[in-house]
Amino acid sequence: MYKKRLCLPPGPTPLPLVGNLLQGSTILYDTYGKFTEQYGPIFTVWNGTSPAVALCGYDVLKEALVNYAKLFSYRGSIPISERLMNGCGIVTTNGELWQQTRRFAVASLRNSGLGTRTIDQRIQEEASHLIQAVKDINGQAFNPQTLLGRAVNNVINLTMFGKRWDYKDKQFLSFLKIIDNLFLFLRSPLGVIYASFPMLMKYLPGPHQKKFHDTEAVKSLIKEQIVSHMETLDVESPRDFIDCFLIQMKKVNLLQGNVFSIENLMLTMFELFIVGTETTANTLYFSLLVMIKYPQIQDRIQQEIDIVIGTDRLPKLADRIEMPYTNAVMHEIMRFVDIVPMGLPHQIMEDITFRGFNIPKGTTIIPMLASALSDPAHWEKPDEFYPGHFLDKNGQFCINDAFIPFSAGKRICPGEAFARTEIFLFVTSLLQNFTLRAVNHPDTFNLNTLRRTFRKQGLLYNLKAFPRGRANERCSGESNVTKKEV
């Protein structure tokens, strides 16, 4: 370990065997700010006996992930995902399999060949079910997180399988619970220990083994759907992602058989099923909390909705260009909450001198995305919720280059456009129909506290949704925070 340290950027001194795991927080995104102040924007931390170089700040991240993309784009080891994915999918793979699978998934998620309905239409269909579910609550206090998770997952289901589940379907709810438990495990100290000592943890008994076992039920459902689609496939009329993949399987030659295979189809769908639900649902949930925290922001968005969309139809993605303030708020929500503060690990492809540091081939690289989203060199008010970050002097929407919540370079999230579309359409559909209110005064909660809680164990916070025109009906005396609130 000592010899390795001589070749790497500075960082906190690791302990034998355990590295930096016992020094402060086990979660790097809780401590990177302190390490940056002490060691600069490039520093080394140790997960057990394995070093990882953290990159902080937009300029450093852009230089590595974009300017030196060829050297920094190889995926580093993610032990939990590797066990789940068996060398398939997009997240943990490299080389030809990764390139071909990613290219196919991106094209499919951008409406290429997904039957007669566009992604917009699939989201609109689910938005109508979500609106009805909120109406059925009839103005009572509720935690929207569960409904949002069901809605987001159903968009994935519509895209992958061509079908949706009822919000009360027991099998559907059990699968969502499996996803939730898996993410809780990933963020927990036990998950960090597994990632640091995978060969040991793979065989040790414990609650982590059940997390892996439970995912087999989700994989079995996907296999059943694939078999059903194979029996009813019409190559002239693809219905969904499965059909498109099966058709591609018939077209490719044997050399691409490992890419377009049933196993890769099943595990890629499993991957999209998992990663396409939790982060988007949590971003939507935080969006609603912003609306009840800042009623004036909610009012202004509703004014744009009334002018551009009206009440006779659901919002569509094409409306976004005419709604600069709404678009700015959606982007500021994604910046401020930074649901994924720490990017997935990369790996250096060859020895490199980067910003004065010699980094050897094979070194794990951790992109600290949150550091770009709060970089004071690129954001006027990095620690505040400020939609003006995305508005020019004329009040028109403008993007900031440091906005990289989906990462950057060759490993940028393939579902970025899909997720942005969901966030815009679900939020505008809800605000078109409802005005949201906190159960108690909005000053009783702090957004900075809430976003930190999001990253760890999730949050349960109640609100009320009144049909437009009844928003002044307020309720007092009820607790707006459940037991899991900080």
Contact 56, 47 (CB under 8 A): no
Q: Would you list the DSSP string of 292-351?
A: HH-HHHHHHHHHHHHHHT-SSS---GGGGGG-HHHHHHHHHHHHHH-SS-SPPPEE-SS-
The domain defined by 1-79+339-373 carries CATH number 3.30.43.20: yes
What's the pTM?
0.90
- Nearest CA among 10, 19, 69 for reference residue 346: 69
Please give the C-alpha separations between residue 466 and each of 127, 263, 326, 429, 481, in angstroms, as whole numbers.
Answer: 17, 46, 20, 14, 19
pLDDT band at 165 (very low <50, low <70, confident <90, very high): very high
What are the tens digits of pLDDT across the range 186-233?
888 899 889 888 999 999 999 999 999 999 999 999 999 999 999 999
1-79+339-373 against 87-338+374-467: fold identical: no
Ordered by start, the domain boundaries in the chain are 1-79+339-373, 87-338+374-467
- CA–CA separation, 216 vs 200, rounded Å? 22
Q: 275 burial class (0-12, 13-18, 19+ CB within 10 angstroms)?
A: buried
- CA–CA separation, 408 vs 164, rounded Å? 32
Compute the half-sphere exposure of residue 128: CA atoms within 13 Å on the CB side of its CA: 10
Q: At what angle do helices 324-337 and 447-456 cross, to 10 degrees?
A: 60
Mean predicted confidence (pLDDT) in 304-321: 96
Mean predicted confidence (pLDDT) in 162-188: 91
Q: What is the 3-state secondary structure (H, E, C) of 82-143?
A: HHHHCCCCCCCCCHHHHHHHHHHHHHHHCCCCCCCCCHHHHHHHHHHHHHHHHHHHCCCCEC
- Nearest CA among 356, 255, 276 for reference residue 108: 276
What are the tens digits of pLDDT across the range 100-142?
999 999 988 876 445 556 888 899 999 999 999 999 999 999 9
One-letter amino acid of 181: N
More confident residue, 119 or 24: 119
- In CATH terms, 87-338+374-467 corresponds, of 1.20.1090.10, 1.10.630.10, 3.40.50.10610, 2.40.240.20, to 1.10.630.10
What residue numbers does the annotated binding site for heme cover?
A: 413
What residue numbers does the annotated binding site cover?
A: 413
Q: What is the 3-state secondary structure (H, E, C) of 374-427?
A: CCCCCCCCCCCCCHHHHECCCCCECCCCCCCCCCCHHHCCCCHHHHHHHHHHHH
pLDDT exceeds 80 at position 457: no
- Nearest CA among 153, 161, 160, 164 for reference residue 125: 164
Q: What tokens appear for 193 in the block?
A: 């220990």
